[in-house]
Amino acid sequence: MKQSNTESNLAHRIFPVILPVPPKDHGIKGRERVVALSRLARQALEICSEKGRFQLGKLQKDANGAPMPFDGHYWSLTHKPKYVGAVISLQKTGIDIEEVRSISSPMFKRVAGDREWQLGGSRSEMLFFRFWTAKEAVLKAEGVGMAGLSNCVVKRVQDMQHMEIFYQDKKYLVEQIYFNGHIAAVVKNRLDSQWTIQHTHVKRSEEPCSELSLPTTKSSLLPK
């Protein structure tokens, strides 16, 4: 059976979703915090499946804690104090979010080498978190932890939204977006992307989100 044009277009897209953590959950800690953020991240994943018009399958992880594909779909989650994110793709993918903040000098040396920093022009907190989120997204796509950071290298900074990352011999194209003092990165490779960012916590039935298709809204995404 042939795919319709709509189905074909959806197969070549990813729909990263970012949701805010409700204020009532900002102060919780420990296991309660993990459960709350995981539940919210799962909600973001459900929105991804709705955007892609397919049924969300059973979510399982391997012995190393890396997400296992379902029905040929790869998935990735990220949860931070103020936001969570999710993405589903027919290719290996990963997503990460970080808040831009001050960083100590040793951390700059840890995340990238001198040649990589030169690609970005100059060292700054913004560039640090661009590199950090991009590499974290790639490591998630590879199903490895931060132990693989030394094998993850920035090869090209295309513009303020895209960069090429090599993990060993594999090349990944990472796309980034800026919002409310944060940076999010997703492995997209050759796929088109349509980001959904919900800025305030609401009930799903209301869901007043902004949908951003790159690069047509590029100017609105650049950091101020």
> Domain boundaries in the chain?
5-221
The per-residue pLDDT for range 29-61, each reduced to its tens digit, is 999 999 999 999 999 999 999 999 999 999 999
pLDDT of residue 89: 95
* Rounded (10°) CA dihedral 182, 186, 188, 189: 100
68 or 7, higher pLDDT? 68
The model carries a pTM of 0.87
- Give the separation between CA 85 and CA 188, rounded to whole angstroms: 15
Structure tokens of 49?
A: 């499946």
- Give the separation between CA 81 and CA 38, rounded to whole angstroms: 12
For residues 165-186, give the mean pLDDT. 96
Going by pLDDT thresholds of 50, 70 and 90, the confidence category of residue 222 is: very low
Tell me the HSE value of 29 on the side-chain side, using a 13 A CA sphere.
1
pLDDT > 90: percent of the chain: 75
The per-residue pLDDT for range 62-108, each reduced to its tens digit, is 988 899 999 999 999 999 999 999 999 999 999 999 999 999 999 99
Beta bridge partners of 154: 165
The DSSP output letter for 149 is G
| Topology given in CATH for the domain delimited by 5-221 | Ribosomal Protein L22; Chain A (3.90.470)
For the cut 60, the answer to whether the pLDDT of residue 8 exceeds it is no
Q: Cα-atom radius of gyration of the chain, to the nearest Å?
A: 17
